[in-house]
Structure 1
Amino acid sequence: MMNLLEEFNEDHGLRPPTILGVRGHIFTGNISSLGWFMLNQETSFVTIGQRVLATPLKVCFQYRHRDVFDRIFHIIRGDISKASCGINLSENIFAKFNPTLRQENITHHECIQVRKGRDVGLNQISMLEAKVACSNREQILSRDIYDLGHRFDFFRMLSYYFNTIGFYVSSMMVIIIVHFFLYGKPYLSLSGLDSAIMKQAHIRGNNPLKAAMASQSSV
């Protein structure tokens, strides 16, 4: 812990860090297959991904309760948490918006590891995912998103999108596209448009269109 706290005094660029993040390990991963799934999810996205998001992308906003905060810095600048519709919802990610808007550093370190247990029941996991989704809804409604969007460059904007609301927006787009495909293909087949498109492609010699329609037929 002493080595971790010394990182507040180290040179991390233009300004010293205000939040120190450390890696985590879920020790309940060997209880069930769901626990193994949560262990891999935590390791890949919350630990491995945060190394890259912290350095060099500088957009480390992930949900984790193993961060060390510079208490004085946050207390005199609006405190850590912010008002939201749900109690204890996204308090740590809003706390990371605050120093990022002030061009401060948020770093990730491997000198210490925090072990924690997690509920491995299906109901508890679904409730956790629902809480994270509601948290992203709160982020969309906040003005911090607007302010950060006007301050980031193109690459940090894409990284920020991936790290916060991008996963849920992309998932929604994928679900909509899959529904369009599943309902559109039977409509083309039953209405006769499928055979008409194939006939026009054969007459015009449009081989890419014929290959695309044939692949959809096989699916």
Structure 2
Amino acid sequence: MGKVFSALAVSVDGYITGRDPGPGRGLGDGGALFDWYFNGDVPSRVFDGFRLSEPSARFFDAVAGRVGACIAGRHTYEDSDRFGDGGSPHPAAPLFVLSHRPAPQMTGRQRLITTGPADAVAAARDAAEGKDIALTGGVLVTEALKAGLVDELILHQVPVLLGAGRPYFHSLPEHVRLRLLEAVPAPGVTHLHYEVVR
């Protein structure tokens, strides 16, 4: 059975977007979080157009190669302009969007789940064919942590203080302990791979 994890770019002060994210504005003024996608000369084997440094390419492609399905929160889905016509944050994986609000007609690899994170994970697990499930969005990750559904957290920590935006993590009812599995320094980013301790 595949693992459930989140791998998001995050500022040192904990934001996964800049100020004023939204439809047509993407992730707001948080573009500095993604400079490392294009600051090297090693093409990604998974994402067309990404040219990463060697350590980032090695780490990023290993993580991206694990993904069999994605789950996105509604804010992330809207901020990302619905990932295009039937698209997903991953080039090959289907997308499950978790939302309690009505959504526009979804097409292609997209499916709406309205009954909570456990049902979203169950649906994604069926589609992932034994591969891992990637979570995208701060509220979604927090709710999945509360429900005990998350196995790993990956922070692509970028050395910038954004000062505002959407946080990676929201209020949790108790501590969540993590065990560091790997730390990979790279130009413009440090990749921090944690296991959630249960």
Q: Using CA pairs below 8 Å that are at least 6 residues apart, which structure has the higher relative contact order?
A: 2
TM-score, normalised with respect to structure 2: 0.25
Compare CA radii of gyration and give the structure with the larger one.
1
TM-score, normalised with respect to structure 1: 0.23
When you count helix as a share of all residues, which structure comes out higher?
1
When you count strand as a share of all residues, which structure comes out higher?
2
